[in-house]
Structure 1
């Protein structure tokens, strides 16, 4: 192997995808072994806890190796794809060197690697979607170390019958802090796990297998073939689905929430929507945009609900800006796009921004930044044909407003019974940031503006 050959392949690792993300699932490869790629060409689509992301590559050449299959969950920094700058024959040796270097880095300095990953989790990385990995030593230096290690004399293996003292038992080799946390949260003993990674590194799949085995019912000692329980489908919580589950669980466990609701006559709100569409056919305004405008006005009058709680410091963070999240149903599940700076937008622009973000979310192309930073969430679950709900707060926000379906109901107007368009509003709020008086005042304000939208002009 010549020095030129060892420089002809590049190992591309799963890049830092930003927003504090530490892993991603491979959805689909856009290239195959033997394909020619260019710099910044999309080579793979991955799904993170925030959204589906298309990953470009910073190298050009021929695809040498795809290091994982679709459906694999990888930690940031894990080998993703190898690219040969020259011929495939020249790069085969190089790819082996790169893999061996990765193994060497994993097993020779586990503690340093773990600290490095933890620092990156705290500080974030500047190499967002650049692909050089985060915190990795230069490849040339690693290869030199691997060569030196390969040529060094190896010690004779100890006799199989020799007992091991406690001091001689090697600690488990774990690189990713995600794996450590998964094991710790589920009570898995890393010393008892069988590693499947290169060089004896314990991978996420090893911990997951141990957790799954621990949850299985004890086997019945009968002289028959193993019993297979039918009718049970195991669906892994991954990507956005797992992120939603974790956020809602955290909301329920952390936030002392309470819910209050009221039925309102939305007839005039629908009339206002129709009037705006007739007056400005080139600038559509939907019901969600009108409700968003009312919510923004309500939050400016009741800022206690436009907040979050810093539990570590024991402080309430009250925001002067309104980043309005709204629930959107997609094929990948429920997501909450965020209209940043909603307090600065007109009603027509609120509609346009909501439509744009919804289209991106349903296409699986919404950027992670558009799913974070919300200060209040609006949830129109009436589109599912239900009247009411007790919505769960979108952690770490302090409140969420839910709107049920609008249907014809008997309603008293000026002392007379009439048929009106009625809906139910539900407000779930964090009781740490305000009491029922503030929450009730906000909800009543919203209800009054829904029933008489013209009164909103006084606050604009």
Structure 2
């Protein structure tokens, strides 16, 4: 008799306590292999594919796409074994099976539960435990004793598993059977708010991915196609009160307007918590300066034209500014630090792990370039490009989103000149960069049109005073105006 194992949402590390189901990778009745990814979840740090530590047939899934689950909540159940049929798995799907009727339901979460599950069966009913670990979770069965299910062994009972699992599928609503080609939880929420069936939409994204624009287009089509209500003799405009013969007036009921409530969870919730904590704990101050970036842009153009196409990827303005930041932090290490409140100490950090703000469909994220102080502009640019692509596709790992010591925020891409950045807690400073635009500028005693940029530095006033912050910002501006200044530190 096969055993049915319940796989729970594992601890994904970094102190995360919950995750949102973004996309199911398997359906009820599918045969899965050991360590095969079965679901894609979104945490406050990144999107992660979660592998299942058992090989067998999926008999039930718990939670629709877009549902938020706490760590330890059931994800799915898997029937493991190579003899007999599943029996009445409908009881297993609800987690209420008992005795021999429903088979054995074994929880699988954390290393302890994993080993317990592996030891609870014998023979053909023994659980297939992977022994692998994913950011702090895994099954504890010794790898040397692990027995994998051979393809020829799975071929015979697979049909019986699928037939038995059909009983579960019949009882599951259509909304939870099979994945939908949607990645963004915001798109799903928008569709739910307007009673749109995503399965009826054709996505315009890669591989038929349903984008927000597709949902908004469908909403507009429904709105425009809806027939306007025909006014009757009893109808009265909402802005006019109905006057009774006696002279008393009765106000017409105002049109009800739905109040939209957006949960602060996932990436947006993590950003909100961090920004609020920054404002509560850090006494920040901001200083700014305009700089003539004409020479920096000319230097970048010369770098990218030297050597022709064989020279490699182009050096971005952000990469040059990041290299300038590492040189400035070497001169002003006070800004590459953090504050230990309990010990009442300023902790200066030896390495520069440079974060840069990146806007994505999932919200604002800050990927981190590790050991930026040991990289040149080309190396920093290549790493920024890699992390930006990972952020765009939602594939950043928690490690790539944590551990920053200083942040560079290029808000000029939004077409604005200046801002007062909020420090990325627990760092001590953030440099903001506005757009680079032609402006009148006094150059060598004459009025000229130059490429001007506004630089703003928000800093923790506990780690340094205005003189240090001003010196840092002035050095950055000098390097922007005269890139040759950097030659001293290259």
TM-score (normalizing by structure 1): 0.71
Q: Which has the larger radius of gyration?
A: 2
1:301 to 331, 337, 341: 331
Q: Closer, same or farther in 2 for the Cα pair 1:61/1:103, shift >3 Å?
A: closer
Note if 1:431 corresponds to 2:457: no
CA contact (8 A) 2:5 2:105 kept: no
SS of residue paired to 1:88:
coil
2:292 to 240, 244, 265: 265
CA contact (8 A) 2:92 2:105 kept: no
| Equivalence map 1:411-422=2 (5 Å) | 411-422=441-452
TM-aligned CA deviation for residue 429 of structure 1: 0.2
Higher deviation after alignment, 385-394 or 74-83: 74-83
CA contact (8 A) 2:327 2:489 kept: yes
TM-aligned CA deviation for residue 12 of structure 1: 0.7
Note if 1:232 corresponds to 2:227: no
TM-aligned CA deviation for residue 232 of structure 1: 2.2
Structure 1 gaps of 5+ residues are 105-125, 134-225
Per-residue CA deviation, residues 393-441 of structure 1 (Å, 9 max, x unaligned), is: 0001000000000011111111111110000000000001000010000
2:274 to 240, 244, 247: 247
TM-aligned CA deviation for residue 99 of structure 1: 7.6
SS of residue paired to 1:62:
strand
Q: Closer, same or farther in 2 for the Cα pair 1:46/1:449, shift >3 Å?
A: same
2:86 to 77, 85, 88: 88
TM-aligned CA deviation for residue 449 of structure 1: 0.4
Note if 1:51 corresponds to 2:46: yes
| Equivalence map 1:283-302=2 (5 Å) | 283-302=313-332
Note if 1:274 corresponds to 2:301: yes
1:361 to 370, 387, 391: 391
Per-residue CA deviation, residues 75-122 of structure 1 (Å, 9 max, x unaligned), is: 111111110114432755666667889999xxxxxxxxxxxxxxxxxx
Note if 1:343 corresponds to 2:376: no
TM-aligned CA deviation for residue 283 of structure 1: 3.6
CA contact (8 A) 2:4 2:105 kept: no
**Equivalent-residue separation in structure 2 for 1:320 and 1:290 (angstroms):** 21
**Equivalent-residue separation in structure 2 for 1:50 and 1:127 (angstroms):** 15
Q: Closer, same or farther in 2 for the Cα pair 1:324/1:315, shift >3 Å?
A: same
CA contact (8 A) 2:292 2:481 kept: yes
Note if 1:74 corresponds to 2:74: no
Residue 458 of structure 1: aligned partner: 488
**Equivalent-residue separation in structure 1 for 2:35 and 2:258 (angstroms):** 46
Residue 187 of structure 2: aligned partner: none
Q: Closer, same or farther in 2 for the Cα pair 1:375/1:73, shift >3 Å?
A: same
Note if 1:16 corresponds to 2:11: yes
CA contact (8 A) 1:56 1:129 kept: no
**Equivalent-residue separation in structure 1 for 2:473 and 2:418 (angstroms):** 15
TM-aligned CA deviation for residue 312 of structure 1: 2.1
TM-aligned CA deviation for residue 231 of structure 1: 4.3
TM-score (normalizing by structure 2): 0.66
**Equivalent-residue separation in structure 2 for 1:329 and 1:268 (angstroms):** 28
**Equivalent-residue separation in structure 2 for 1:418 and 1:128 (angstroms):** 57
**Equivalent-residue separation in structure 2 for 1:266 and 1:43 (angstroms):** 50
RMSD: 2.4
Q: Closer, same or farther in 2 for the Cα pair 1:227/1:54, shift >3 Å?
A: farther
Residue 128 of structure 1: aligned partner: 135
Q: State how many pairs are aligned.
A: 343
Q: Closer, same or farther in 2 for the Cα pair 1:396/1:351, shift >3 Å?
A: same
**Equivalent-residue separation in structure 2 for 1:66 and 1:131 (angstroms):** 20
**Equivalent-residue separation in structure 2 for 1:433 and 1:99 (angstroms):** 60
Q: Closer, same or farther in 2 for the Cα pair 1:267/1:402, shift >3 Å?
A: same
Residue 121 of structure 1: aligned partner: none
CA contact (8 A) 1:58 1:130 kept: no
**Equivalent-residue separation in structure 2 for 1:449 and 1:32 (angstroms):** 57
1:387 to 408, 414, 417: 417
Q: Closer, same or farther in 2 for the Cα pair 1:98/1:11, shift >3 Å?
A: farther
TM-aligned CA deviation for residue 306 of structure 1: 0.2
**Equivalent-residue separation in structure 2 for 1:46 and 1:360 (angstroms):** 16
